[in-house]
Structure 1
């Protein structure tokens, strides 16, 4: 009969890894919430209410914004590999700077293209300009995320 043995320090390593996952998840969640509120704050009207009311354009912009924020958070976490405390700080700082850069950039693109995002978000039907705004969120999220590397 073969004995089942674990390497010395296995449980300590496993516990450290689980702890890191939990802490990075909390930082990621905080950044995602900050990202959503940054989009909401810079968007005319109450974005949360428009989403809960089922406004299709608000849902599209919010979804694109959340995906772009996730890119930023994921690359911030990835770039911060190493010591846990330094990694968490770097992920938080890179994430916050990335969110600010991404939200400001999208608003500049809306202005440059003459998109009235407030009117589009309040509409009960999908509008073509919202696809441009969603693409801008997505693209700029990728650009900012890669810049973190």
Structure 2
């Protein structure tokens, strides 16, 4: 019993560390696809559009990571590897969806979603695209 708890605790720490690293990568993807400093826009300037886009990206990555963990095999190393691979695929697809929306819409989408003047309706579209893409990837995993 104690061995099971220790083994489970180790797996939890490993998956948790990988999950946090993948969330950090999701943050960096939003940073790269939008102009300006994301942290400053959200925490200093209180930019709601930037916060919405980041929140959707993090929720999407979290959903993919959660599904990958829940469906992983008992082998910890294989489970960690599959979690990372599926999350990276999901983030690539979310980024492709973002750039596809950028091609289909007027102006530069990255600049539009972080416009300080207002919460542009395109923020909701980008957030929905991120969450929908994550749901598709999560469903494909299971």
> Residues 81-120 of structure 1 correspond to what in structure 2 (within 5 A)?
81-114=73-106, 116-117=108-109, 118-120=111-113
Q: Deviations over 1:79-126 (max 9, x none)?
A: 323211111111112212221122222221232233633133132321
Instruction: Give me the TM-score of the superposition, normalised by structure 1.
Output: 0.85
Structure 1: runs of 5 or more not aligned: 1-9
Instruction: Give me the TM-score of the superposition, normalised by structure 2.
Output: 0.88
When Rg is computed on C-alpha atoms for both structures, the one with the higher figure is 1
Contact in 1 for aligned 2:38/2:50 (Cα 8 Å): yes
Contact in 1 for aligned 2:61/2:134 (Cα 8 Å): yes
Match in the other structure for 1:27: 18
Deviation at 1:139, TM superposition (A): 1.1
The answer to whether 1:38 aligns with 2:35 is no
Match in the other structure for 2:133: 140
Q: Greater CA deviation, 21-30 or 133-142?
A: 133-142
Match in the other structure for 2:116: 123
Deviation at 1:143, TM superposition (A): 1.2
Tell me the SS of whatever aligns to 2:119.
Answer: coil
Distance 2:69 2:114 in 1: 32
Match in the other structure for 2:72: 80
Distance 2:113 2:20 in 1: 28
Contact in 1 for aligned 2:112/2:120 (Cα 8 Å): no
Distance 1:143 1:114 in 2: 27
Q: Greater CA deviation, 132-141 or 25-34?
A: 132-141
* Count of residue pairs brought into register by the alignment: 140
Task: Select which of 40, 43, 67 maps to 1:49.
Answer: 40
Distance 2:83 2:130 in 1: 20
Structure 2: runs of 5 or more not aligned: none
